Each structure stands twice: as C-alpha cells, then as structure tokens.
Chain A
Amino acid sequence: MKRSKISLAIAAGATMLAAAATQPAFAGETKTKPILGIPSSAVADFGGVDGIHNWVESLFYYIMLDNRINYIFKEFGNADRQIALNTQLETMVLGGPNNYQGASMSAAHADLGITMTQFNAVVEAAYNACERNDIPYYSCNDLIAALAPFTRVIVTK
C-alpha cells in the first residue's frame, strides 16, 4: 500500500519532470533583450539569487505601502507565490538560470487593467527596494532595463 503510493508519486513526479523537459514553454516567460545588454555581473551585483529574493521581498513591502496599487495586489495577488515567482523571473532576466515556473507576463496581468501610472508606481517601489537593500542605482537600472520590455503586455489600459 505504502510502497505503491510512493512509486505512484515517483512515477507522477517523473512524468511531470519529463513534461517539463519536453515542454519548457510552460515556464511562460523568456529573457528580454535590452539593446545594450545586461552586464554579466548583474546577478552578483544584486547579491546573487538570495540578494534578488531579498530585493523582491522589499519590493512587495513598498508595493503594499502604496495606496495607488496595494489594493490590486490585496484583491488579486498572492504575496508568497509572487515573491517566489518574481525571484525566479528577475534572476532569469538578469542573466541567471531560467527556472521561472509562473505564467507569462501577458497571461498574468491580462485581466488586471493595469495603467501606466500603476506600472510606474511599481517602478518607484523597485527603486525604493534597491535603496533599502543597498543595491547601487546603476545596478538597479540594469534590472529596470531588463524588465521594461514587459510594459507592452502588462500595461493594458
């Protein structure tokens, strides 16, 4: 009984892994292509993946303090999931490994009717998070450059 459950789990895990391997497109987002590139030191400049994770936590902290946008995240968001997924996404766009497991930016934001003003509010939170984490302004701009192309699909209003 117990044994079959475990083997079932292993089998299920294996098929999922196989599916993930043959269908990496499920990780619905690809690296952006800023015209001037992103320096190879970008992930390290943020303090590695842990540093990026800390930055994302600060980002959500500042987002939740901003009355122009926090209600959207309270109503439609899930902070823990978004912090985990954003860490993966930001690591990828800064040139780290692509472990992103979330939805595409267009799918995730399509129904939210996000305005340019709200997008800019998140950018302001991003700069605040950089300052709070002692990430240099220039490194912060690498991340802004890497995320900026998503504006096209995230801002729908």
Chain B
Amino acid sequence: MKRVRVNGLRIFQCAAILVAGLASSSAWAGWYNNGKVLLTGGVFTVDGAGGGGAVPWATISGYETRDGINGSAGFTYVNLPALQVSFYGVNVGFYDRLELSYVDSRLSLNLPNLQTVALVLDAVDLGDSVGTDVWNSTLPMQTYGVKLRLFGDAVYTSDSWIPQVSIGGLYKVNGNKELVKTLGADKTKDYEIYLAATKILFPLSTLVNVTARYTSANEDGLTGFGYCHNNGLGTGDCKNKRKVRAEVSIAHLVAKNTAIGGEWQQHGNNTGGQSININGLNLTTITNVLSNLGLDLGDSLKQKNEGDWYDLFMAYAPNKHISFTVAYLMFGNISVAPDQNGFYFSTHLTF
C-alpha cells in the first residue's frame, strides 16, 4: 500500500520536474508555444485529459497551437459527504495534435456504516482473521492518458458542422486492491477508450462536447472496474464487461475568460444491490453479530445503484497561466452512501 502511494507521488514529481525543466531550458524556446485563444484548450479533467471537469474533450490540453508544445499541471479537490478526492496531474500537448497525461488521485472514504463494521470486527477480534485492515479506507489511483486529434477544428470552422474529433485512451491503476474488492469490483486496473467531438458555436458563445467512452469503471475507476458478486466465499461470479457510455459537456462563455456550464456523465451499475465484500467474508454473519449487539444495519451495507454524474461549473482564466474551476457535483449514490452532492475546486497551471 504504502509503497504504491510513494511510487505514484514519485512519478508525479518526476513528471513535474521534467515539465518544469523543459519549460526553463533554452532548448525549449523553439518548441514552446502558448498561442491558443484563452480557455479554448479546456481545463483539467479528473482523468488528466484536457476537457471539462469530468468529461474529456476533443481539444488538446495546453495553450499550444499546431506550431509548438505546451504543458500544464492541475490540482483538483472534490468534497462529498462520504468521501474526499484529490487529484494531482500533469499533461503535455504536442502541436495541437497529441496529448499525454498523468494523474495521481486519492479518494478517502468516510462511511459511518463501514466504520461500524470495522469497529465491530475489531471489537470481536475478527479484524485480524479476515486478513484485511478494516480501517483502510483510501483508494489511490494513477491514470495514464493519451489523446490524438483525428480531424476537425473546434474553434475556427464556423461555416461547417464538422466538429473537432479526437480519440483517447486511459489506463487506470487502482492501488488499493483490498478495498476495491471489498466494494465488490472485479479489477483494480483497466483501460478506457473514448471518442470525443467538440465544437465552439461562436454566435451562441457556446462550446458543445459529446464523448463516448468504452469502459467498465465504477465511479470513474476510483472504486474499481466491473463486479464480483459476493457469494460469501470470495470467489463468485466476476465480470469486467466494458460498455459504451455517453458524456456531454456544454460550456457557455460569458466573457473571453469566463465559462459557465454543465456536464453529464453516464455511469454503469456494476455493484448496485450487492453487499460490500470483506475478503470473501459472508456479511450476514457480521450483520447478525451487529443485530445481536442491538445495531441493526439492515440494508445499509448493501451498495446503492451507482448514479450518473452531473455537475454545474464555472471556469475563470485571468490569464494564460492559470485558471480556476469551481463546480457543484451531483454524483448520486456512491457505494453504500446515498445522494453524494458536493463541491469541486480545481486549479490548472499552464506553462
């Protein structure tokens, strides 16, 4: 666990140093470019790709045009009642054609029902025998991304309906196998592929993006991929079935440096209705122990149906080096926690 975390951070630090080093070295001068018009590269998504808050766009991140290279770093903090997530990442855009990205994220759960189980397991000394650190509630994840612009120009082809279209791939590695399994997912590592189409409609001062993502992710992969139905033996029926899911971003520019908008990201429902799965332990035993103690958890250890993600955002870019995004998130049910609405704050630094 610890090692994974340190590794992730180290990779991030290396990348940051690399980007910073490139930005300051003189050899960079010929390639460096920040000629894009303000906000037209999008901001920093939780996947590291350029786009809105959650939805990757077809635009290539950074302010470079086809004449050069530009890099950026982003930090995002999400605060929901049952969990907090922070994302640190970097991305580099090459000639407005190719984008490479890396994000290190950390999700901390604070679920009272899980903590009750932990408490009880500790109390009855089952904690050790299930072979799981029942207090372990952090889900670290690394996301590696690449995006290639296929055709089109989101900004200047105002006399044609053809949007800018890009294809992207993400590889996500969740570092907490135990907790991912506890939450009933099948895999901790998986890839996602997406196709995004973006167009700015100047007479409406509005950017429209539609993305189709081929994925099996639960909560964007933050709680794993696919499902393992808990049969109480830790084996059971496991599937990692990828499907195409839809995502939409609409950003209305109220000024050249300020956008407001909303997003919708369709989610699957891999783990809904399943009980959390503590290392194959049949939770009926625990629920029984708990009811013996007079604590009726009832269905509260049953995971709720995963909700689609919705958000409303405002992005402000005072200049080409920094932008701030605040958003209100409506994430529906996450694992055993219902109705997760909360706030999102993101900073995007562009070199």
Q: Is the CB of B66 within 8 A of A116?
A: yes
A157 vs B65: C-alpha distance in the bound complex, in angstroms? 11
Contacting residues, chain A, for B205 (C-beta < 8 A)? 137-138, 141
B288 part of interface (Cβ distance < 8 Å)? no
Q: Is the CB of B156 within 8 A of A148?
A: yes
Contacting residues, chain B, for A35 (C-beta < 8 A)? 158-161, 201
For chain B, give the interface size range: 20 to 34
Most chain A beta-carbon neighbours within 10 Å: one of B37, B160, B161, B255: B37
A38 part of interface (Cβ distance < 8 Å)? yes
Q: Is the CB of B159 within 8 A of A34?
A: yes
A103 vs B248: C-alpha distance in the bound complex, in angstroms? 42
A123 part of interface (Cβ distance < 8 Å)? yes
A120 part of interface (Cβ distance < 8 Å)? yes
Output the nearest chain B residue to A116 by Cβ-Cβ distance.
Answer: B65
For chain A, give the interface size range: 20 to 34
Q: Is the CB of A115 within 8 A of B158?
A: no
Contacting residues, chain B, for A152 (C-beta < 8 A)? 156
Q: Are A148 and B202 also in contact (CB < 8 A) when A35-B159, A124-B37 are?
A: yes
B36 part of interface (Cβ distance < 8 Å)? yes
A58 vs B254: C-alpha distance in the bound complex, in angstroms? 22
Partner of A151, one of B68, B96, B156: B156
A110 part of interface (Cβ distance < 8 Å)? no
A123 vs B161: C-alpha distance in the bound complex, in angstroms? 21
Q: Is the CB of A142 within 8 A of B203?
A: yes
Output the nearest chain B residue to A68 by Cβ-Cβ distance.
Answer: B35
Contacting residues, chain B, for A36 (C-beta < 8 A)? 158, 201-204
Contacting residues, chain A, for B204 (C-beta < 8 A)? 36
Contacting residues, chain A, for B65 (C-beta < 8 A)? 115-117, 120
A144 part of interface (Cβ distance < 8 Å)? yes
Partner of A39, one of B38, B67, B160, B203: B203
What would 4 more interface pairs be, CB under 8 Å, given A118-B35, A137-B254?
A: A36-B202, A68-B35, A137-B255, A141-B202
Closest A-B pairs by Cβ, 9 of them = A117-B35, A145-B202, A116-B65, A148-B158, A151-B156, A148-B156, A149-B159, A36-B203, A145-B158
A residues apposed to B, CB below 8 Å = 32-39, 68, 115-118, 120-121, 123-124, 127, 137-138, 141-142, 144-146, 148-149, 151-152, 157
A-B contact pairs, 15 of them (CB 8 A): A35-B201, A36-B201, A38-B203, A116-B67, A116-B96, A117-B33, A120-B36, A137-B253, A137-B255, A141-B202, A141-B205, A142-B203, A148-B155, A149-B158, A157-B67
B residues apposed to A, CB below 8 Å = 33, 35-38, 65-68, 96, 153, 155-161, 201-205, 253-256
